[in-house]
A and B are shown apart, each in its own frame.
Chain A
Amino acid sequence: MSRSTTRFDTKKVNSELVTLTYGALVAQIIKDLENTDDVSKQLERLGYNMGIRLIEDFLAKTGTGRCLDLKDTADKIQTAFRMYLGVQPNVANWSAAGDEFSFVLDSNPLTDLVELPEDLKGLKYCNIICGVIRGALEMVQLDVQSWIVQDQLKRGSKH
């Protein structure tokens, strides 16, 4: 595992800087929008914008080819998680038809130091990740839906 992380020589930054920057952004959006659902949507949109640019970075760094099937795609997204967030998600909950699955993140740098207050329990804090996945896959001609099944801030985190 450690070998595969060093293989793509990526520069790193302190995860707390990212966590806090993201937190400040979310707080700002909440202030601007008020409605929690709108905030979640906005986060997804921001993620989407990031995703369509992140995929280039991913393809350039890994030099990976086309995915043969969704299992392949899942593997690659897993690699991307490791590259960009430094966490290793587990792929689980494959649907019988093989067209739906979940990522389970044991730890998520975005939610370090984060606690949702009672009145924001409806907020999908990590919705940005869903957006990133959707944006990135759209750029490689894969139309996907991505959503949060469970949230660690409310218990357990899945996509």
Chain B
Amino acid sequence: MSLTGRTRLSILDKPLSRGKGEVSLSCFALLFSEVVQYCQNKSQTVPELQNKLHELGQKVGVKLIDLYFVRERNCKREIKLLNILLFVKSTLWKALFGREADKLEHSNDDENTYYLMEKDPLVNKFISVPRDKSSLNCAVFIAGIVEAVLTGTDLRPKLPPTGTKEQHIW
């Protein structure tokens, strides 16, 4: 036992993958559908379900920060609001969903508010929302990812308005 323990490579000893791996879209769609169903079974109301998806998204987001800043930015973190937003819009989006997010807008009314727009989020592609749950939007999962990335890069003080607004534009 101890011998295998010693010879075994820990995950930190392995080189970081380049992130070029690809998996079939059907695979992801079905997995995500199971994620949604699992959350649905655990919750009574639509907001509750959305919260659960949002939380899961955050878990993903937290891990993405480390991964992408180590891989793309030589471990240098971004601390300027606009830069990190652009990073999310282009680099992160491209890596995750194969293309950049549609638009990043600055609100006219409030200088701390930005809108990140995506017309056709990948996670919603195969989801049909039942009529009795019309307020459900599974893209809160992505909102969770984005929020975690922004929070995790220490932009918290400026963020609450941004973070919450972002969910609404989905």
Residues A32 and B63 in contact, CB atoms below 8 Å apart: no
Residues A112 and B21 in contact, CB atoms below 8 Å apart: yes
Q: Mark A60-100, 1 if CB is under 8 A from B, else 0.
A: 00000000000000000000000111100000000000000
- By a CB distance below 8 angstroms, the chain B residues around A13 are 22-25, 28, 96-98, 122
Q: Select one of A20, A50, A83 contacting B60, CB under 8 A.
A: A20
Residues B24 and A50 in contact, CB atoms below 8 Å apart: no
Q: Select one of A23, A25, A84 contacting B23, CB under 8 A.
A: A84
Shortest C-beta distance, B169 to chain A (Å), equals 21
- Cα(A83)–Cα(B26), bound, Å: 10
Interface size for A (C-beta < 8 A) is: 35
The segment from B32-40, B78-86, B109-117, B150-158 found at the interface with A is B32-40
- Cα(A115)–Cα(B24), bound, Å: 23
Residues A16 and B67 in contact, CB atoms below 8 Å apart: yes
Residues A25 and B56 in contact, CB atoms below 8 Å apart: yes
Give chain B interface residues in 12-69, CB to chain A under 8 Å. 17, 19, 21-28, 30-35, 37-38, 42, 52, 55-57, 59-60, 63-64, 67
Residues A46 and B38 in contact, CB atoms below 8 Å apart: yes
Range, interface on chain B: 35 or more
Given contacts A17-B96, A21-B35, whether A86 and B24 have CB atoms under 8 Å apart is yes
Interface contact tally, CB-CB below 8 A: 114
- By a CB distance below 8 angstroms, the chain A residues around B59 are 20, 23-24, 27-28
Q: Mark B120-155, 1 if CB is under 8 A from A, else 0.
A: 001000000000000000000000000000000000
Q: Mark A10-36, 1 if CB is under 8 A from B, else 0.
A: 111111111011111101110010000
Q: Select one of A16, A32, A46 contacting B34, CB under 8 A.
A: A46
Given contacts A12-B22, A13-B22, A20-B60, whether A50 and B96 have CB atoms under 8 Å apart is no
Residues A18 and B23 in contact, CB atoms below 8 Å apart: yes
Residues B98 and A14 in contact, CB atoms below 8 Å apart: yes
Given contacts A13-B98, A83-B24, whether A21 and B31 have CB atoms under 8 Å apart is yes
A/B interface sample: 16 pairs, CB < 8 A: A12-B22, A14-B23, A20-B60, A21-B28, A21-B32, A21-B35, A22-B31, A24-B60, A28-B52, A28-B59, A29-B38, A46-B38, A50-B34, A83-B24, A113-B17, A113-B67
